[in-house]
């Protein structure tokens, strides 16, 4: 599975539940940035490298 962010081809590592945007499946780098925002819940994908 790939990161959902446009232009990013990295392997998805985490499923983020974002109160204002819904669920996004992203790579480690994008996940680390987004999870610092208030209210975002990170659900690691099984077998992925997270955090
Ligand atoms: Zn990414």
Q: Residues with beta carbon < 5 A to ion ligand 1?
A: 3, 5, 8, 10, 27, 30
26 membership: H or E segment, kind and range: strand 22-27
- CA of 12 from ligand 1 middle (Å) equals 7
The sign one gets for the Cα dihedral 36, 39, 34, 3 is positive
- CA of 6 from ligand 1 middle (Å) equals 8
- Indicate the pLDDT class of residue 51, thresholds 50, 70 and 90: confident
pTM comes to 0.90
- Indicate the pLDDT class of residue 5, thresholds 50, 70 and 90: very high
- CA of 29 from ligand 1 middle (Å) equals 6
- CA of 35 from ligand 1 middle (Å) equals 13
Distance, CA of 14 to CA of 4 (rounded, Å):
11
Residues 11-44: tens digit of each pLDDT: 999 999 999 999 999 999 999 999 999 999 999 9
């Amino acid at each position: 599975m790939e990161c959902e962010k446009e232009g990013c081809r990295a392997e998805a590592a985490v499923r983020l539940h974002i109160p204002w945007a819904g669920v996004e499946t992203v790579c480690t780098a994008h996940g680390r940035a987004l999870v610092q925002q208030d209210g975002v819940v990170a659900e690691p994908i099984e077998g992925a490298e997270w955090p």
